Amino acid sequence: MTIPAQSSAAGAGIGSGQSELSSSRKTIAENFDTFLSILTTQLKNQNPLDPLDTNQFTSQMVEFTGVEQQLKTNEFLEALISANEQNYASQAVSYIGKEVTAFSNNTDLKDSSATWTYGMTRDAAEATITIKNSAGAVVFTEQTTLESGEHDYTWDGINSDGSIAPEGKYSITIDAVDSDGGKIANYTMTSGIVETVDFVGNEPILVVNGTQVELSAVAKVGLPA
């Protein structure tokens, strides 16, 4: 995918948000026009012998002013949101060609190696590492102990039955408990070079070595080794 195409997709995503805001503003504007028409008609047709009560008229003028201010506020908000979306898109595009580490349990098996980064909040006396293929089938499990902190885990692509797993996408899960049997919170991350950026959804998606990760999931960014 070329950057111009990505930029066009980015515009489509941003345009969707602007369209919703414009629709909201249009609705308020229509209500504003309706209110103004009713107020004008009321003033034209009021009884000279029993004119509109001053308090009622003042109240209606306050409402009139409030609607007008709401229209202005919506315009300012649209401008701010549009500017923020443009900056967000530019930030995502700037990641292309850089190495990122993002929160994800997916990565690619290539050249008999698949590596994940995992983090443990404390030492795990018992941990079960489970690896699944893209179809969700378990292909490898390991019982081990894990230390607290952030570490790398590399799988050599050998299934539990001794067969060689084909290259492709695999996911990892870690179930760990401490010496007292308490469950330990953990996270997994994947690293790689950003190849393209997808702007189709509400949030830019980075394609990292074939794996899709949300921009908000990125934890580290750097130059390729």
Mean pLDDT is lowest, of 3-7, 38-42, 201-205, 221-225, for 3-7
SS3 197: strand
Average pLDDT over residues 152-166: 95
Q: How does the average pLDDT of the chain come out, rounded? A: 79
Q: Which DSSP category does 113 fall into? A: B
Query: What does the pLDDT read at residue 69?
Result: 74
More confident residue, 17 or 207: 207
What angle, 0 to 180 degrees and rounded to 10, lies between the N-to-C axes of helices 3-44 and 54-93?
180
SS3 117: strand
Q: 10 Å Cβ neighbour count for 71?
A: 13
Q: 10 Å Cβ neighbour count for 7?
A: 15
Query: What does the pLDDT read at residue 4?
Result: 37
* Percentage above 90 pLDDT, the chain: 39
Confidence bin at 6 (pLDDT 50/70/90): very low
